Amino acid sequence: MFGLASPSALRKKGILGMNRRNIQYISQYNNRKNFPLVDDKLKTKVITQKVGIAVPSMIGTVEFQYEIKEIGKKIGDKKGFVIKPAQGSAGKGILVIVNRDGDEFIKPNGDRVTFRDIKRHVSNILSGLYSLGGKYDVAMIESLVEFDPVFDRYSFEGVPDIRVVVYRGFPAMAMLRCSTKESDGKANLHQGAVGVGIDLATGRAINAVQHDEPVTIHPDTKYDFSELEIPHWDELLPLAASCYDITDMGYLGVDIVLDKKLGPLILELNARPGLAIQIANGIGSVPRFDLIDKQSMDLSVEERVKFSVENFGKS
Amino acid sequence: MSSKIQIALFTVLLSVIGISIAWYKSSVLGVPFVPHDTTSIYRIGAKITFKPTDNPVLVSFAIPSEQNGIKIISSDAASQGYGYNLKNDKNGQRAEWAKREVSGDQTLFFNTDVVIDKNHQLASIQMLPQPLPKEELNEWDEATKKSADSFLKDIYNHSADAHSFAAELIKKVNNHKDSQLINLILDKYNYSLIKFTYKLLRYQGIHTRIVKGFPLEDGRSNLRLESLLETFNGKNWQMFSIKLGKIEKAENFFVWQRGGISILDSEGTKKAKVRFSIVERNVPTSSLALDESLKKGAALIDFSLFSLPISEQNAFKHILLVPIGALVVAFLRIIIGLKTSGTFMPILLALAFMETQLVTGLILFVSIVGVGLVIRSYLSHLNLLLVARISAVVIVVIGIMSVFSIVSHKLGIEEVLTITFFPMIILAWTIERMSILWEEEGAKEVYLQGGGSLFVASLAYFAMSNGTLAYLSFNFPELLLVVLSLVIVLGRYSGYRILELVRFKSQVKDS
């Protein structure tokens, strides 16, 4: 009716809405005091490294404006690197450099920036331009992940990553986020990236959406999503599930990238994962959460992953 | 579950308290729920401020007396620790405050409640002050006096009685305001235009008095007294304004004092001054006497907003609208799911729109932010630190506001002058946010969030400028408890947002 879905039909399908997510899941299972651990990527990195979870390696940090002069030294002659604000949200303020040409640095879309631009970007990060609430922030310089070329066909100029929603330690849903021309190389769905729902049992694509509408091929590369299959799938879910144990966040989004040599790496964690993953998977998350609620909370990572694969996998 | 019950109980309790107080006020104390069928009571507040010297302080303040067309219901004075009494002298009543030892800045209040009532006519014509002897203009030199004589003779020939003479004189004085003769006299004897006219009228032998007062308009503050002239033709008094000439209807002009004697006399003080403010409030026409009961009656009224000084009451008229705006914003975000830039920025915008009017406000906002964005995009090349950049944007915003005001004033578009009501810091942050949004997410998101904010601000404006809601919020502030409980209920709403029904439409299409 009038282009609106009926609320009762959505409820029947178990689609989670924003208000319910905030009240019933985030405020109930994500303890406020644990937020800094997830919101501050530097803290996340320290703690994940400590327990041996694979993450992209760190080149250095810049904490004070006077250190900006020395960025050159920190970067050295590295060809590719990523500069990001430790407390940025929604992918804001991330500068990816893939190569160098003389004094100029090259971004994934081929744009060139100077060293001066990089310094200004770091200065903005430190001033808190990208952080939640404008707090002073720290810039992190990470080595560039050498992306596994399996996704090249499904990504335009950007970084494909895998988002796994981990509910109380159980992987509940997963999707691959593919950047498009429209999303400007970013993997954020609201900017026009394609979300591909992933079968938890096999790592194969289920369904793909762009702007909340189903698509079957990538809008720029024209490859069919149904052929997509994520390698290292058996390593990936335990990696995601183990983040619950270190953060104690019951409703957690885990962003994973695949490195050519290192395999799956945790890129960042998110304490407020969005709802689009349901559209990408064509299924509501509430029934899965309800099923997880009935399980024992004392299971190991392997047992939890096994439960998810058995109950939420398609095949 | 228990928290659900708690919230239910809590909100019901809040609403019940709020509604029952409002009901009590309405049915027992007779404050009506709807603004019509009421009479306006104007509460005029005089605020006297001064700095004491080492000597004992004595402040004498002229207070209004009965007049035609406006009824004085009651008066009261507030002043901590001062001896206070009322005194009658030949020029009318005066309030007197006295205190022996005083230190620090001092404030005295005198409030009076009046209603406009055409039927309120005094039995006898008031002659205060007593007729003065004819003005001889002795201080004027002969030559000036002679030219004044011929000036007045001409007018005398063109007039029939005291009133028409005065009207003609004021017209003439206005026409010749810039003439050498008048300017010479004004300069030489240090007269104001009104004093000059007053002197000439009395020189002509017309019984004239200077009247000080102001029109009764809601929400005025920092008001000064305006001076008018009144002439007597043997039967009645007629008011004249130097600017407008004869005043046919002066229904809402409240005369504070007649006779041109000083309003405020004080001893032992420095920098004594008085400012007036007016606030309007509605009571049922049927029971004007109610005001008395309001005052003596329940503690409820005694501890209500009406017990505050009037300038603060006016401030609360605005403040009490904010919860309505907040409710609108909460509703649009939680139930509808609209995006805005900054959670409560729309309320501040809506408050500004109340002063500028909606369309003017929208145009002004869009133009300031537009120009600001252009300048901000240049600033981003300068490689500034964030705080300095925002400060620069604030300064630029102020510059834009000044330029807009000056240019439009020259062009005669006075509406633009209301630009000063926009909160500058909020504008600067909006510009900063929008420009970041532009760089990172593209123009589309800027239009989306900017448009969303303006839409929410407009809706909040409509709610806040609604006469009935404004009336209720000020006269029944306890209804805020109901608004509070509504907001709490909204805060627990876990259903779908309207825009989510669109977003998830594809999920239920096939089933």
Contact assignment for A123 to B507 by CB distance below 8 Å: no
Contact assignment for B383 to A6 by CB distance below 8 Å: no
Question: Nearest residue on chain B to A65, judged by CA atoms?
Answer: B385
Q: What is the number of CB-based contacts under 8 A between chain A and chain B?
A: 84
Whether B172 has a pLDDT exceeding 70, the answer reads yes
Q: What is the pLDDT of residue B511?
A: 44
Q: What is the pLDDT of residue A134?
A: 63
Q: What is the pLDDT of residue B364?
A: 87
ipTM: 0.77
Domain with CATH 3.30.470.20 in chain A: 7-41+148-312
Dihedrals phi, psi of B288, to nearest 5 degrees: -70, -30
Domain with CATH 3.30.1490 in chain A: 57-143
Contact assignment for B506 to A212 by CB distance below 8 Å: yes
pLDDT band at B290 (very low <50, low <70, confident <90, very high): very low
β-pair partners for A209? A195, A214
| Residues on A contacting B at a C-beta cutoff of 8 Å | 3-7, 9-11, 13, 15, 17-20, 23-24, 65, 92, 116, 120, 123-124, 127-129, 134, 184, 191, 209, 212-214, 275, 278-279, 282, 284
Mean per-residue pLDDT, B3-23: 89
Mean per-residue pLDDT, B59-84: 83
SS3 B133: coil
Task: Measure CB to CB from residue A19 to each of B387, B495, B503 and give the nearest one.
Answer: B495
pLDDT band at B382 (very low <50, low <70, confident <90, very high): confident
Task: Measure CB to CB from residue A127 to each of B386, B497, B507 and give the nearest one.
Answer: B386
- pLDDT tens-digit readout, B453-506: 899 999 999 998 888 888 888 888 888 999 999 999 998 888 899 988 888 887
Helices (H), B105-235: 142-157, 162-175, 180-189, 193-203
Please report, for chain B, the start and end positions of each structural domain, with discontinuous segments joined by +: 319-475
Compute the distance between CA of residue B379 and CA of residue B373 in angstroms, rounded to an integer: 10
Compute the distance between CA of residue B475 and CA of residue B305 in angstroms, rounded to an integer: 9
Over the Cα atoms of chain A, what is R_g? 19
pLDDT band at B509 (very low <50, low <70, confident <90, very high): low
Contact assignment for B497 to A19 by CB distance below 8 Å: yes
- pLDDT tens-digit readout, A182-239: 877 677 787 788 899 999 888 888 888 888 888 888 888 888 888 888 888 888 899 8
Please, which residues have CB within 8 angstroms of residue A246's CB and are 6 or more apart in sequence? A47, A48, A51, A53
Q: Which residues of A touch B507 (CB under 8 A)?
A: 5, 10, 13, 15, 278-279, 282, 284
CATH code for the structural domain at A7-41+148-312: 3.30.470.20
- pLDDT tens-digit readout, B234-281: 778 888 888 777 777 677 888 888 876 788 888 888 888 888 988 887
Q: Which residue has the higher pLDDT, A164 or A118?
A: A164
Token representation of residue B46: 């005089």
Mean per-residue pLDDT, A74-96: 80
pTM more than 0.90: no
SS3 A167: strand
For residue B455, give Cα distances in angstroms to A160, B338, B339, B501: 36, 9, 10, 20
Contact assignment for A123 to B383 by CB distance below 8 Å: yes
- A284/chain B closest Cα distance in angstroms: 9
Whether A84 has a pLDDT exceeding 50, the answer reads yes
Q: Which of A147-161, B63-77, B111-125, B294-308 has the lowest mean pLDDT?
A: B294-308
Q: What is the pLDDT of residue A288?
A: 92
- B381/chain A closest Cα distance in angstroms: 10
DSSP assigned state of A110? S
Mean per-residue pLDDT, B348-352: 87
Compute the distance between CA of residue A213 and CA of residue A193 in angstroms, rounded to an integer: 12
pLDDT band at A1 (very low <50, low <70, confident <90, very high): very low
Helices (H), B283-357: 290-296, 299-302, 310-319, 322-331, 345-356
Interhelix angle B193-203/B162-175, nearest 10 degrees: 140
Contact assignment for A10 to B386 by CB distance below 8 Å: no
pLDDT band at A254 (very low <50, low <70, confident <90, very high): very high
Q: What is the pLDDT of residue B286?
A: 44
Helices (H), A18-155: 18-20, 27-29, 35-39, 41-50, 71-75, 115-127
User: Average model confidence (pLDDT) for chain B?
Assistant: 81
CB B28 within 8 A of CB B20: no
Q: Which of A225, A227, A252 is nearest to A239 (CA)?
A: A252
Compute the distance between CA of residue B135 and CA of residue A103 in angstroms, rounded to an integer: 93
Q: Which residues of B touch A24 (CB under 8 A)?
A: 494
Whether B383 has a pLDDT exceeding 80, the answer reads no
- B506/chain A closest Cα distance in angstroms: 7
Q: Which residues of A touch B508 (CB under 8 A)?
A: 5-6, 9-10, 13
Compute the distance between CA of residue A116 and CA of residue A136 in angstroms, rounded to an integer: 21
Whether B7 has a pLDDT exceeding 70, the answer reads yes
Q: Which of B324, B420, B410, B327 is nearest to B368 (CA)?
A: B420
CB B474 within 8 A of CB B320: yes
Q: What is the pLDDT of residue A174?
A: 93
User: Average model confidence (pLDDT) for chain A?
Assistant: 84
A57-143 adopts what CATH topology? Dna Ligase; domain 1 (3.30.1490)
Compute the distance between CA of residue A209 and CA of residue B369 in angstroms, rounded to an integer: 35
For chain B, give the longest Cα–Cα distance: 106
Contact assignment for A19 to B386 by CB distance below 8 Å: no
DSSP assigned state of B417? G
Q: Which residues of B touch A282 (CB under 8 A)?
A: 507
Please, which residues have CB within 8 angstroms of residue A88's CB and are 6 or more apart in sequence? A41, A94, A125, A130, A131, A137
Dihedrals phi, psi of B276, to nearest 5 degrees: -115, 150
CB B511 within 8 A of CB A41: no
